[in-house]
Amino acid sequence: MNSQWEPVIGIEVHVQLATQSKIFSNAPVEFGSEPNVNANLVDVAMPGALPVLNEDAVRMALKFGLAIEAEIAERCVFDRKNYFYPDLPKGYQISQFASPIVGRGELDVHLDDGSVQSIGITRAHLEEDAGKSIHDRFAQHTGIDLNRAGTPLLEIVTEPDMRSAAQAAACFRQLHGLVRWLQICDGNLAEGSMRCDANVSVRRSGESAFGERTEIKNINSFRFVERAVNYEIDRQIDVLESGGVVVRETRQYDADRDRTYSMRSKELSDDYRYFPDPDLLPLQLTADMLEAVKESMPELPREKLARYAQEHELPPATAVRLTRDFDLASIFDKTTDLGGDAQLVANWLLGDIAASLRREDKTYAELPLTAQQLADLVKRIHDGTLSSTLAKEVFEFAWSTEDSIDAIINERGLQQVSDQDELTALVQGIVDSHPAQVAQIHAGQTKVVGFLVGQVMKQSQGKADPKQVNALLRQMLNI
Amino acid sequence: MALSQLSLDHHEKAKLSADLDSIISFIEAMNQVSTEDVEPLAHALDLTQTLRPDVAVGGIDRSAFQRIAPETSDGFYLVPKVLQQR
């Protein structure tokens, strides 16, 4: 990137809230149903049908607000955002304009280089999703599926605090982790449960005024956010350097071609003719409701982070990785509560277990290993019953059975040979059967000891402790 | 008029145009009033929103809605082709 230019980025994230029913109707929220079977008279906008607000959508918005220590509006209003599109049969979207439920807050974003950036959250408001337009199925028509119409959305808007595409992607990832943590969204990007819009502008380095911005709509992966924003930064710099002007507009990212292209000129808020929806009364939050939401809050990632550093003395990078995923952190907590050594548990969860989950395309929520199994596995490594090689073998068995770790070790004879007499006999046997190598060692080629250690390990089928074997050999050979 | 699917004859158009003119002059009158110290009113009723428990009710009769739709196919509502810009 050209260092004469500084990019300025803010993002808007649409989060589908994990309610059972829609925000203003009692139709079910379900992905992948037959078209229009989840659209009732409110969702298809029958004249006279009235919206009634879903209390869980409100609670979920409050959870998010509390998690980012935001200002919460005790009283807020729903507005109509007017525009015409066939997948919005009312002709307006119910949203919040002048008084969002969640006001200004802060989000700590952990970047890949280990640094933490505090990103301002401007607001988060409740609104309804639109239906879906199917453009490619019918030759002469566009098909409309209103199943998604009325799905509760929390639209989270950040300040233009980001200065690189990587920061924007990290911020989206952090929000994704947080809403999953709070269990207010399933976080399924492939099904559109979270969609990211990025507002991008560039200005000459050192300038304080922002340049004209464009908005890239509906990006649905962390990687695509980074690529789309990078493309857009470069495009704007090219336009400006060749004497052109950036036009305020909405652009779409085409992942296949890795470029953005213009969709339409950007409407200003005046074009939407916002006004308070007369069908909905102002929402007044009661102290009881706020208190109940506060009590339902889980321990937050930043609180866990601090606790892991203090209680378990974990390195910050490890603690950050553990607190990226709610299920991962929960397993870590359960396992350490059962007495598993924190550092070993973290190593396993972030190492072998992460790799195995990736291989089987599973999440930590679907981990086949129980916390008890993991705690016992780590205990048996700690007390020397298992070498790291044997531990991996036991782990493979534990992955596919519900047997206890001790049962696996005993049934399959996987414990380390720690009996001194047995081990001495084993080493003696190898020394006796390798006179040539012993001679080499006595002639000064001490590296050959490694070969003999290998032979003992092979003979023991990996059950000997290599350190002990090494010491015994050196003792026997007087070196 | 096309969007709201209304059709008007000449007589109605003349009458409505006079109505609209008087509405606009009425709004002009409101613009004369100073509202500086007035809190914006979100609703005419001095009440607050009642919330609904999050309970989904399925078994929606799609066919009842689709019978009265201008055109449907395979469960979709059909509308004139929406132009895609690509």
pLDDT digits (tens, 9 = 90+) for A82-131: 998 999 999 999 999 999 999 999 999 999 888 999 999 999 999 999 99
Cβ contact, residue pair B54, A278, below 8 Å = no
Q: Does A58 contact B at CB distance below 8 Å?
A: yes
Do the Cβ atoms of A275 and A79 come closer than 8 Å? Answer: yes
In this prediction, residue B4 carries a pLDDT of 63
**Cα first-last separation, chain B:** 29
User: For residue A234, what is the enclosing H or E element?
Assistant: helix A222-241
Q: Does B12 contact A at CB distance below 8 Å?
A: no
Tokens of A45: 């906008």
Please report the ipTM that was assigned to this predicted complex: 0.79
Helix intervals (H) in A401-465: 405-412, 420-433, 435-442, 448-459
Closest partner CB to B82 (pick from A57, A99, A135) = A135
Burial group, residue A42, by CB count within 10 angstroms (0-12, 13-18, 19+):
buried
Q: Which among A90, A101, A99 is positioned nearest to A51, based on CA atoms?
A: A90
Set of chain B residues whose Cβ sits within 8 Å of the Cβ of A278? 43-44
Set of chain A residues whose Cβ sits within 8 Å of the Cβ of B77? 36, 86, 143-144, 146
Q: Does A141 contact B at CB distance below 8 Å?
A: yes
Q: Does B2 contact A at CB distance below 8 Å?
A: no
In this prediction, residue A307 carries a pLDDT of 94
Q: Which among B63, B46, B11, B79 is positioned nearest to A35, based on CA atoms?
A: B63
Half-sphere exposure in the Cβ direction for A419 (13 Å, CA): 6
In CATH terms, the fold of domain A420-477 is Arc Repressor Mutant, subunit A (1.10.10)
DSSP symbol at B50: P
User: For residue A403, what is the enclosing H or E element?
Assistant: none
**Beta strands per DSSP E along A100-240:** 105-110, 116-128, 132-134, 141-145, 152-158, 194-204, 214-219
Q: List all residues of chain A from 274 to 293 with a beta carbon under 8 Å from chain B.
A: 276, 278, 280-284
Q: Which residue type is seen at A448?
A: V
Q: Sign of torsion, CA A39 A43 A45 A51?
A: positive
In this prediction, residue B85 carries a pLDDT of 43
In this prediction, residue B8 carries a pLDDT of 85
Shortest Cα distance from A341 to chain B (angstroms)? Answer: 42
Q: Which among A431, A478, A439, A437 is positioned nearest to A459, based on CA atoms?
A: A431
Provide mean pLDDT across the span B53-66: 96
User: How do the domains of chain A map onto residue ranges?
Assistant: 5-289, 299-412, 420-477
Cβ contact, residue pair B47, A281, below 8 Å = yes
**Beta strands per DSSP E along A83-167:** 92-95, 105-110, 116-128, 132-134, 141-145, 152-158
In this prediction, residue A209 carries a pLDDT of 94
In this prediction, residue B84 carries a pLDDT of 53
Closest partner CB to B56 (pick from A28, A133, A141) = A28
Q: Which among A193, A189, A124, A109 is positioned nearest to A156, based on CA atoms?
A: A124
The pTM (predicted TM-score) of the whole model is: 0.82
Half-sphere exposure in the Cβ direction for A210 (13 Å, CA): 15
Regions in chain A scoring below 70 on pLDDT: 1-2, 265-269, 414, 416-418
Q: CA B83, CA A248: separation in Å to the nearest integer?
A: 21
* Interval B16-39: pLDDT, tens: 999 999 999 988 888 888 888 888
Do the Cβ atoms of A200 and A213 come closer than 8 Å? Answer: yes
Cβ contact, residue pair A284, B48, below 8 Å = yes
Do the Cβ atoms of A391 and A377 come closer than 8 Å? Answer: yes
Q: Which of B41, B47, B51, B74 to mutate to test the interface with A (most CBs of A within 10 A)?
A: B51
Question: Given a cut of 80, is residue B83 above it in pLDDT?
Answer: no
**Vertex A100 angle, CA A96 and A106, to 5°:** 140
Q: How many CB atoms lie within 10 A of CB A58?
A: 23
Question: Given a cut of 80, is residue B82 above it in pLDDT?
Answer: no
In this prediction, residue A1 carries a pLDDT of 53
Tokens of A114: 């280990």
The 3-state DSSP composition of chain A as helix, strand, coil percent (nearest 5) reads 40, 20, 40
